[in-house]
């Protein structure tokens, strides 16, 4: 370890022993700043890609486009150019056809529909909460609580019995394929 790094590690360890966590954190940052940079060996990329059966030069070279991809790109660029020229006329015709009054009517209809769905959801919520209240009242009665406790005790006893049966079945060949 180089001398400056050793000194910062000692400073950090001394700061850890004291009661000031901020000083210790600052000292730890200095230790990390003093650590040497790691550089992989020179032929690592070539060796890894060779093991994978890949050519290292193929990764960094420009991709070659096949004629099908070139034709697809040409059609896409042509479509973008045509739509770019036609879009302002289409939007203008759409705005004239809709008009500001039609846009206001559509927005108002949307808001009315939204509030109607909200009112329906409040009614559904009221029905569900009423049903939950009835179920809670019936379950919280002393008779039902006794029945639930008895069912839990029977379940626990059955689980304990099954566990005991499984333990008695274990032997040296328990987990080995037969």
pLDDT in tens, 93-120: 777 777 778 778 888 999 999 999 999 9
pLDDT for residue 113: 93
Which of 14, 32, 33, 34 is CA-nearest to residue 24? 14
Q: Lowest mean pLDDT of 28-42, 60-74, 104-118, name the range.
A: 60-74
The yes-or-no verdict on residue 60 having pLDDT over 70 is no
User: What is the DSSP secondary structure assignment for residue 38, as one 8-state letter?
Assistant: P
Which of 45, 64, 40, 44 is CA-nearest to residue 56? 45
| Mean pLDDT estimate for the chain | 85
pLDDT for residue 151: 96
Phi, psi of 74 (to 5 degrees): -65, -45
Higher pLDDT, 42 or 76: 76
The yes-or-no verdict on residue 2 having pLDDT over 60 is yes
Contacts of 153 (CB under 8 A, 6+ apart): none
Asked whether 31 and 12 are in contact (CB, 8 A), the reply is yes
User: Residue 58: pLDDT band by 50, 70, 90 thresholds?
Assistant: low
Asked whether 80 and 72 are in contact (CB, 8 A), the reply is no
The yes-or-no verdict on residue 135 having pLDDT over 70 is yes
pLDDT for residue 48: 86
For 80-104, what is the mean pLDDT?
80
Asked whether 148 and 138 are in contact (CB, 8 A), the reply is no
pLDDT for residue 99: 73
Q: Is 21 left (phi over 0), alpha (psi -120 to 50) or beta?
A: alpha
pLDDT for residue 84: 85
């Amino acid at each position: 370890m180089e001398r400056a790094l050793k000194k910062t590690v000692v400073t950090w360890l001394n700061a850890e022993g004291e009661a000031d966590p901020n000083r210790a954190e600052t000292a730890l940052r200095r230790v990390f700043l003093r650590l040497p940079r790691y550089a992989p060996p020179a032929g690592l990329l070539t060796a890894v890609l060779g093991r994978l059966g890949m050519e290292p030069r193929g990764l960094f070279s420009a991709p070659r486009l096949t004629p099908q991809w070139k034709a697809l790109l040409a059609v896409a660029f042509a479509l973008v150019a045509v739509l770019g020229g036609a879009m302002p006329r289409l939007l203008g015709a759409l705005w004239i056809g809709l008009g500001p009054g039609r846009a206001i009517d559509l927005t108002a209809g949307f808001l009315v529909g939204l509030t109607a769905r909200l009112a329906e959801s409040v009614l559904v919520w009221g029905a569900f909460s009423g049903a939950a209240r009835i179920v809670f009242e019936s379950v919280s009665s002393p008779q039902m609580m006794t029945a639930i406790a008895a069912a839990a005790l029977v379940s626990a006893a059955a689980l304990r019995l099954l566990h005991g049966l499984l333990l008695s079945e274990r032997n040296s060949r328990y987990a080995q394929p037969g």
